[in-house]
Amino acid sequence: MFGIKQINKGYKTSMSVTYSVITKSFGNRVRILRNNLDVSREKFALKINMDRTYLASVENGKRILSLDNIKK
């Protein structure tokens, strides 16, 4: 009998694809808004009390944010 990991091996689930689309869209929107304010990534990260490298991963769509971090 095959386990779930064996069946799904090598395939993305629809849930992970959905998160990927959401995180990339959100990150892109954050970048656009930050650029519209003409603020560097470093200054923006300091203003919202977030590490610059964490903000970079958000803007690149590589982080799934908590609601607390989205609020920042």
Separation between Cα atoms, residue 37 and residue 53, nearest integer Å? 19
Residues 56-68 pLDDT 10s: 999 999 988 899 9
Whole-number pLDDT of residue 1: 47
Residues 8-40 pLDDT 10s: 555 556 667 788 899 999 999 999 999 999 999
Number of residues assigned to the chain: 72
pTM above 0.85, yes or no: no
| DSSP strands (E only) in 22-64 | none
